[in-house]
Amino acid sequence: MSTLDTARPSAPAPARRSAPARLASALRGGLTNPKYGPVIVTAILLVGMFIFGASQYRGFTNPQIIFNLLIDNSYLIVLAVGMTFVILTGGIDLSVGAVLAMSTMITASLLQSGWSPGVIIPLILLITSGLGLAVGAMIHFFDIQPFIATLAAMFLARGLCYVISSKTITITDPFFVALADARIPLGGRLSITWSVVIAAIVVIAAVVVLHYTRLGRTVYGIGGSEASGRLMGLPVARTKVLVYVISGFCSGLAGILYTFYTLSGYALTAIGTELDAIAAVVIGGTLLTGGYGFVLGSVLGVLVLGTIQTLITFDGTLTSWWTRIFIGALLLVFIILQKILTGRRT
């Protein structure tokens, strides 16, 4: 080896970045990813809303405020779970609000007729799942657009509500009254209801199904490319029908949870709730064209909607219509964000 070789200085080792720099780099990478970016933005938005509320309104930092968000929106969380399955495949379900109302009407009328809750609850879930099966079959086997098929189901379910009764049916059954009044203590003055527990079980089950089963992988595969899914031998037909069955089941369950919340059935219940569910799923990061999204993101989306309503309530000077205005603005922003992120990938 020559003297020149031995004297040549070695290349400097790359400087190690600090932990905050690595975290910032990972955050930038996540924000520009269409899979994780909208969910991260939703989480940041939710935290920012709570910080704003805590700085502006006395009592907003009470932990029971968070639990009240879950209590008041437990039925919407369940609806959003079912909607997430549908939208992940590139579909849409406009019938969930009407099916929820139909569930409350059937439940209230059968209870009034003396039926047992142990019979009514499984019957409701069977009926709504069957309606979802019919809608899914129409969409897949008859090649009907999901918008049209679920719109027809929406009119059918809402019409059945009026056939049962055009007036409010009060629920006085001891089982439903007991569940409506029951509180699960969490220490101190904090508590939740059984509806929150049921919604949490549904969310956990959905996460397991979507991320650890063949059905979940097929749902994401169909949303990415239905044609590619067929070429890979995925059960496309069965899965497309099944996601509407899941949405129907969640709608029926949400209706039962809603009766725990209101102890009544009414034909005009949940008008526009299907739009709230869709908005929560989209704000939670699920791509409207399918393929990207998380159930936990949809839960964050529901909490964002609930927090907007809570902020308006604490303010006291704005009407409830401002909730719709803010939700509409957020939905528009997240749709544009999705378009930008997916455009960068293509």
pLDDT given at position 320: 74
Please report the pLDDT score of residue 334 as a whole number: 84
Model confidence at 10, pLDDT cuts 50, 70, 90, reads low
Residue at 51 is within a domain: yes
Instruction: Specify the higher pLDDT residue, 208 or 338.
Output: 208
Section 270-274 average pLDDT: 91
- Position 229 scores a pLDDT of 74
284 and 294 Cβ atoms separated by less than 8 Å: yes
Position 115 in a domain = yes
Decide if 1 is inside a domain: no
Q: What is the pLDDT of residue 73?
A: 94
Which has the higher per-residue pLDDT, 221 or 14? Answer: 221
11 band by pLDDT with thresholds 50, 70 and 90:
low
Domain count, the chain: 1
Is 265 contained in some domain?
yes
Q: Is residue 6 part of a domain?
A: no
- pLDDT band (50, 70, 90) for residue 235: confident
Residue 173 Rama label (left phi>0; alpha psi -120 to 50; beta): beta
* pLDDT tens-place string over residues 153-200: 999 999 999 999 989 999 999 999 999 999 999 887 889 999 999 999
- Gap between the Cα atoms of 288 and 267, Å rounded: 29
* Rounded mean pLDDT, 15-42: 65
Domain for residue 3, yes or no?
no
**Of 230, 234, 203, nearest to 218 (Cα)?**
234
Percent of the chain with pLDDT over 90: 58
Sole residue written with tokens 């869709």: 278
Cα separation, 311 vs 314, in Å, equals 5
Is residue 23 domain-resident? no
Tokens of 216: 């979940």
- 130 and 246 Cβ atoms separated by less than 8 Å: no
**pLDDT in the model for residue 33:** 66
Mean pLDDT, residues 249-273: 93
Provide the domain limits for residue 217. 41-345
Please report, for the domain that includes residue 50, its CATH number: 1.10.3470
Find the helix packing angle between 273-283 and 74-88, rounded to 10°.
Answer: 70
Tens digit of pLDDT for each residue in 153-164?
Answer: 999 999 999 999
The residues near 202 (Cβ < 8 Å, ≥ 6 apart) are: 77, 78, 81, 250, 253
- pLDDT tens, 75-101? 999 999 999 999 999 999 999 999 999
Spatial separation of the C-alpha atoms in residues 148 and 243, rounded to whole Å: 17
In the predicted structure, residue 1 carries a pLDDT above the cut 50 = no
